[in-house]
Amino acid sequence: MALLEVRDLRLSFGGLKVLQDISFSVEKGAINSLIGPNGAGKTSLFNCLTGFYKPKGGSIRLGGRPIAGLPPHRITALGLARTFQNIRLFKEMSVLENAMSGQHCRSRHGIVSAILHLPSQRREEDMIRGAGMRWLEFVGIAEHAHRLAGGLSYGDQRRLELARALASAPEIILLDEPAAGLNEREKLDLVHLIRRIRDETGVTVLLIEHDMGLVMQVSEKIVVFDYGQKIADGTPEAVRADPKVIEAYLGTED
């Protein structure tokens, strides 16, 4: 059984059909990508998967459980974490506090135990802090733990978003254009980091990307969209040779 299974997913805004009968699946432990030209519906699909949009029809299953229509925080708790296309950090808070936010849905102590300073609450705080630090180390920005997140360089902010998502202990992590705004060197680092996420933590990765070079380099399977429909699905080699994909990206000869 696939870890993430999307079947006949439909989404429309008013009369505009944004997604039409999308079906694909992501196997556990894979690195897959969704690509397509601007306006193809990639981000809309992403928002359906993460609970920010409610699809009009079809199903989304995570580890066999239906998640379509659940609120975002429930989906995260069930094991699907995300990053944002235009970095959405808590800029006024410390880097560590940002990383700790992922642990919220994996912990449970509330207001009363915090006021009473219960030993179990203290231990849980230690655990949350420890997890935050570990993920900062994993992405390589632990030395900035006590700086404000807004003061990090652009590349480090992207890393922090990854650390924050990973801190929620996901089964699968969805990366929305993680290479946007990165230079070539930073892109290489990113490819390396994405591989490490899968290889060292076993977390499945689903990318949405514009950057064809990066996608071809890192993905085992690629799903291609255009105008809200799936037009191809397969290995990088197969997708690259597909006439429909070439047409969508380069246009047709008249």
Residue ranges binding other proteins (CB under 8 A): 50-52, 71-73, 76-77, 81-82, 84, 88-93, 96-97, 100-102, 104-105, 107, 109-111, 114-115, 117, 121-122, 124-126, 128-130, 132-134, 137-138, 142, 145-146, 148, 164-165, 168, 200-201
CA atoms within 13 A on the CB side of 43: 11
Cβ at position 124, least distance to other proteins in Å:
7
Cβ closest to other proteins, residue 104 vs residue 198 = 104
Query: Which lies closer to other proteins via its Cβ, residue 102 or residue 228?
Result: 102
Distance in Å, CB of 58 to other proteins, minimum: 22
* CB closer to other proteins out of 7 and 104: 104
* Opening angle at CA 110, ends 50 and 138, nearest 5: 55
Q: What is the DSSP letter of 86?
A: S
- Pick the closer one to other proteins by CB: 132 or 228: 132
Interacting residues of 215 by C-beta distance below 8 A, sequence separation 6+: 33, 35, 207, 209, 222, 236
β-bridge partners, 169: none
**Closest CB 214 distance from other proteins, rounded Å:** 23
Paired strand residues for 13: 16
In the complex with other proteins, which residue's Cβ is closer, 29 or 57?
A: 29
Helix (H) or strand (E) holding 65: strand 65-66
Minimum Å gap between C-beta 157 and other proteins is 12
**Neighbour-count burial for 73-87, b at 16+ CB within 10 Å, e otherwise:** eebbbbbbbbbbeeb
Distance CA 143, CA 137 (A): 8
Whether the CB-CB separation of 34 and 43 falls below 8 Å is answered with no
Contact between 147 and 95 (Cβ < 8 Å)? yes
Q: Which is nearer to other proteins, 174 or 222 (CB)?
A: 174
Q: What are phi and psi of 108, to 5 degrees?
A: -140, -10
Q: In whole angstroms, how close is the CB of 125 to other proteins at the nearest point?
A: 6
- How far apart are CB 190 and other proteins at their closest, in Å? 17
Smaller CB distance to other proteins: residue 151 or 213?
Answer: 151
**Mind giving me the DSSP string for 197-243?**
HHHHH--EEEEE-S-HHHHHHH-SEEEEEETTEEEEEE-HHHHHH-H
Closest approach of other proteins to the CB of residue 94, in Å:
9
